[in-house]
Amino acid sequence: DKIELETEIDENIKSQILPKTVLQQIVENSINHGFENNTGRMKMQVCGYRKENCWFLSVRDNGQGFRKETLKDLKEEFEKTKRSLFEDRSNIELEIGGMGLVNAYARLLLIYSDSLIFELKNTEDGAEVLFGAKML
């Protein structure tokens, strides 16, 4: 009874491709890091919607949010991953543990390439990971 989860997914996006572990990694990351110093009730909201010709999934929580340094480091890792895959054409190491958001980004990038949208931000009451792409 410590976690309150709300989900609302638009039927129009349920046919889009999403690797099985992506949503799990993002939710687990939120629980493991967003609430590490919190003893109150954890609230998670997963929303999926369509906007124009794109689909989006948003994972929001009422945790402590991202530290500025963490946001900077993750954005650098996203850019490094994108360069490795598309410019250097090299393999990347997708490790279990440690970089769940980077792994989720890499898996989605391999499917959606340049149409991928992957944003991390702090909200008034926690954090949000928003990702999506053009409809397939």
Tens-place pLDDT, residues 15-54: 999 998 899 999 998 988 888 877 788 999 999 999 999 9
Q: What is the rounded distance in angstroms from the CA atom of residue 132 to the CA atom of residue 126?
A: 20
Least reliable range by pLDDT among 57-61, 98-102, 122-126: 98-102
Tokens 């129009």, residue located: 12
Task: At 20, list the tokens.
Answer: 């099985």
> pLDDT digit string (tens) for 61-95?
999 999 999 999 999 999 988 988 888 765 555 54
pTM score: 0.89
pLDDT reported for residue 39: 74
Read off the pLDDT band of 8 (50, 70, 90). very high
Predicted local distance difference test score (pLDDT) of residue 115: 96
pLDDT computed for residue 93 by the predictor: 55
Which among 90, 128, 94, 135 is positioned nearest to 112, based on CA atoms? 135
Q: At what angle do helices 100-112 and 68-82 cross, to 10 degrees?
A: 40
Residue 69 backbone phi and psi in degrees, to 5:
-65, -40
Check residue 33 and give its pLDDT.
85
